[in-house]
Amino acid sequence: MGAIIRAVQRAYSASTRLLSAALLIVGLAMVVSTVARGGGALALGVVLGTMLALIGAARLWLARSGLR
C-alpha cells in the first residue's frame, strides 16, 4: 500500500511541475507576442502574461523547495 501512495505522490509532484512550467511558458509567450505586435507595458497581454509567468515560476519554486 505504501508503494502505491508514493507512486501517486510522485505523479502529483510531476504533474504540478509540468503544469507550472506550462503556465510559465504560456505567460512568457503572451508577453513576447503582445510586445511584438506593438503592445505597451500596460497592455492586457503583457499584464496577464506577466501574472501567468509569475504564478508558474512561484509554483515551480514552491514545488522544488518541498513547501505546500
Give the start-to-end residue ranges of the domains of the chain. 2-65
Can you tell me the distance from the alpha carbon of 10 to that of 68, in angstroms, rounded to the nearest whole number? 14
- Residue-level pLDDT at 66: 62
Helices (H), 1-68: 2-36, 44-65
The one-letter amino acid at 26:
V
Other beta carbons within 10 Å of 2: 6
Model pLDDT for residues 14-66, shown as the tens digit of each residue: 999 999 999 999 999 999 999 999 999 999 999 999 999 999 999 999 988 76
Can you tell me the distance from the alpha carbon of 61 to that of 31, in angstroms, rounded to the nearest whole number? 21
Predicted structure pTM score:
0.85
